[in-house]
Amino acid sequence: MQLVLFLSFMFLLMQCSLERELRSVVEMRTLDVALTLQASKPFHFAESSLNYEQQQQQKRGSFRLNLVHRDANTSPFRLQNATRQQLLKQRLIRDEARVKWISTPIHRLQASESSHLQSSSSRSSAEGLASPVLSGLSFGSAEYFVRLGVGTPAKPIYMVIDTGSDVPWLQCKPCRRCYDQNDPIFDPKQSSSYQQLKCTSQQCRQLTMRACQDKQCMYEIFYGDGSFTAGNLAMETFSVGDSAVERVAFGCGHDNEGLFVGAGGLLGLGAGALSFSSQASASRFSYCLIDRESGALNSSSALIFGNASIPAGARFTRLLRNQKHATYYYVALTGISVGGLRLPIRAEAFRLSASGGGGVIIDSGTSVTRLAAPAYYLLRNAFRQGTRHLPAASGFSLFDTCYDFSRVKSVDVPTVAFHFAGAIDLQLQANNYLLPVDDSGTFCFAFAGTSLNISIIGNIQQQGTRIAIDGQARRVAFIPQECG
């Protein structure tokens, strides 16, 4: 009892000391309220922005597509009559399911971690491969998409990108159960490069959930929200323009259900042996996520593989290894600052234990950053102290710190920064941590606490920053820039 009282007293002392310091906060950042709200209004875009054949010819080995916003007037993915608040509620429901999936053992049904699968002849083809990244909300599912060619001849298909998954998969004919997708469902009979994998293949042995049917390898993957995919494990050619990666092991799903509506499948970019990035032997890749709230026609971003994926002068922090959860990209987060002041967060809040628990991952599929509860409360309270002069609003869903900006065009708020090992800092923009939750000017602090045994840096906080991963050297760089 005495120990509990002592620890509570020490926490209060640290909190009071931090509050005194924050009364003289000097590092502020401006949130353009009017522009943020205006950016999400429906806009028109050129029909050619969806034309894969036209776009891929713009540059050899790569192609660019305009940002497709789900609320564009001419977008085929637009959800009719949905308000910003309704869209956000649905996003947060999916997000919660995603976080539970990450934090529970049941999701690890994809691949054990071992050597790369591809021969040297198919490794080099990923160099310089580039594809634009589109907001996954355009398709009614999470989270970001690229458009790739699959098969020979190549058929363009939208796929979800996911740094928290390994095995790539597509819906395939014949369908026992398939959800609606934007593109025609992939038909392996129409591809000369399609090849089913046998149960004795190395790729099949690397699956942790597999079965055999007529000596052919069968796979099955479940997700925490109830989504699943099942079918044949096969090999196929994936391409962008003139660049191609041959003999990619992927799931050809004949039985699929869940939140992937609109996309043809999922492109796993995790650290495991069966991820697309591992199979392509493109140990270096980077992505820059577009702002979901952006309505600018020139907003675009790229997922790039190979040496060209990392800008010159990029500064890296190390990636940590977790043998229990080798799919994920664990980072050495050492602290967080608010208004230029380092928060008194204990080191164990972000520490990766020897047993594989705890730690911090970067994840493209999670929207809202989740922090271990003690760290979150310090962050939230410090931000509240620095914004005590701003009009408060009621909480929204998992957000407990919200503001009424309905009467202002812009507002100054304390800066927020992540600090990583190697003296690497990621300074967030105001729209990385203040999110509009309706059309009337209510904004919420876009972080959440969690009692789960892992912290996650989500894609809202990643937007506008190029995330460059060097898998072979086990390091990651954060390069703030426009996602052009």
DSSP one-letter string for 426-467 = EEPPGGGTEEE-SSSSEEEE-EEEE-SS-EEE-HHHHTTEEE
Catalytic residue from among 71, 95, 162, 470 = 162
Long-range CB contacts (within 8 A, 24+) of 57-61: 57/241, 59/241, 60/241, 60/242, 61/128, 61/129, 61/130, 61/240, 61/241, 61/242, 61/243
Catalytic residue from among 183, 291, 363, 470 = 363
Indicate if 187 belongs to the active site.
no
Spatial strand order in the sheet of 416-420 = 341-342, 333-338, 416-420, 424-427
| Alpha-carbon 51 to chain mean position | 25
In whole angstroms, give the CA distance from residue 240 to residue 52. Answer: 10
| φ and ψ at residue 39, rounded to 5 degrees | -65, -25
Indicate if 214 belongs to the active site.
no
In whole angstroms, give the CA distance from residue 364 to residue 183. Answer: 23
Give the three-class secondary structure for 137: helix
In whole angstroms, give the CA distance from residue 209 to residue 222. Answer: 10
Are 142 and 131 a contacting pair, CB within 8 Å? no
| φ and ψ at residue 107, rounded to 5 degrees | -75, -15
Q: What residues act catalytically?
A: 162, 363
